[in-house]
Amino acid sequence: MKSFDAIVIGGGQAGPFLAARMVEKGMKVALIERKFLGGTCVNAGCMPTKTLVASARAAHVARNGATYGVNIPGEIGIDMKVVRARAETVTMNARNGLIGWFAGMDDMTVIYGHARFEDPKTVSVNGETLTAPRIFLNVGARPVIPDLPGINDIDYLTSTSIIHLDTLPRHLAVIGGSYIGLEFAQMYRRFGAEVSVIEHGPKLASREDEDISDAIADVLRSEGIDIHTGVSDIAFARSSDGITVATDSARIDASHVLIATGRKPNTDDLGLDATGVITDKHGYITVDDSLATNVEGIWALGDCNGHGAFTHTSYNDFEIVAANLLDGGDRKVSSRILAYALYIDPPLGRVGMTEKQARASGRKIMISTRPMSRVGRANERGETKGFMKVIADAETKKILGAAILGIEGDEVIHGIIDAMNAGTTYPALQWSVPIHPTVSEMIPTLLGDLKPV
């Protein structure tokens, strides 16, 4: 049996950085990763997919060059092998950077293999037994595959496998109308494929307010994406030239099917029964405000704890645990103001409450909206789709939430994120003097138009 001061299981966006901090503090640490360092973000999420999004946008801009007086003769061709290779290069550079970083740490032992608990202080991997007084789980999540008729008879894609495609689908059917599915839908439409999105719920991006959801649907339909919502029945069958997707309202002749119906935590094969660690009905590990489980000496960070499925929330989990255990801090998950983005084009930047949540809270609220068509930068760039929306508390004057669906919305939202984290009231932010011409310069104007509802 090998003894360590700490064992980290999973090499995603929380575990490796926590391991490195503990090594800096003079601890002997084992980091166990079953496949690739970097987790979903580096290998199958943010980095490769946003690289693909950039390639798709380049194609879109080239096709629409004449609008800006830039004439490109002939058809715009897409070399999917180059597209794939570019995304793979970005992934490998990041992964190899982590490998090189850890190779320079004398007290860091990186083990590739599948770890299972033997007891709350002991894990086995590759036939070896390791023990430590502190064990941190950063095991991530994987795509959910629903039990739908005929699904086992077809070769379907997931968000993990689709990034390795080096050919262009004739017709991509996307099952699931949430964030992952919508990004791939627009991406492949811009590459030149026919695309259909099939969503069980009544609207796309169901977490969002109805006006945001409708605007997202308008953006996608304007690019020729076929959208089906409120679909109650889906079945698959092989056809002579691909896959038939039959729903209660349509029959789609697809060449490829992407299953994007959600993700589930990788907690079912860790041997958690040997520890007594509690999970909820979906398999997420239950943690307290400091990310500790119910078993002393075991923590859960990142996607597997159900407190955020984003790279930035996973990294913040690392910051919370490191501050509390290594720096004498008292940071809490409940203090985190959730923010995220949807990387269609134009992107959606989101922070805090939706309008629906704010109304349900019982607060007296104020709301302001502004179409992107009234934003100078948007008009100058010829990208006027979407709108801005902010919600504030009428009594405390604090900003409760915001959504910016529009050009650079994923960047502009940070002005509001920073204000919310600093506890700044909206009248104070309203008096800032932003740079012209930017999208951010509209934030004071947006706040100035807040009206009680």
In 3-state terms, what secondary structure has residue 199?
coil
* DSSP character at residue 398: B
The first and second tokens of residue 224, run together, are 């020729």
Q: What is the DSSP string of 345-371?
A: SS-EEEEE--HHHHHHTT--EEEEEEE
Residues 6+ apart with CB under 8 A from 67: 382
- Residue ranges of the alpha helices (H) in 204-345? 210-222, 311-326
Phi-psi region for residue 275, left (φ > 0), alpha (ψ -120 to 50) or beta? alpha
How far is 307 from 340, CA to CA, in rounded Å? 13
Which one from 171, 228, 256, 436 is the annotated catalytic residue? 436
Residues 6+ apart with CB under 8 A from 159: 44, 45, 49, 143, 180, 184, 258, 260
Residue 307 bears catalytic tag: no
Tokens read off for 381? 């760039």
CA 145, 151, 153, 159 torsion-angle sign: negative
Neighbours of 371 (CB within 10 A): 14
Q: Are strands 387-393 and 348-352 parallel, antiparallel or unpaired?
A: unpaired
Q: For CA atoms 298, 304, 306, 310, give the dihedral sign.
A: positive
Q: Are 13 and 315 in contact (CB under 8 A)?
A: yes
- Residue 172 has phi, psi (to 5 degrees) of -100, 120
As annotated, the active-site residues are 436
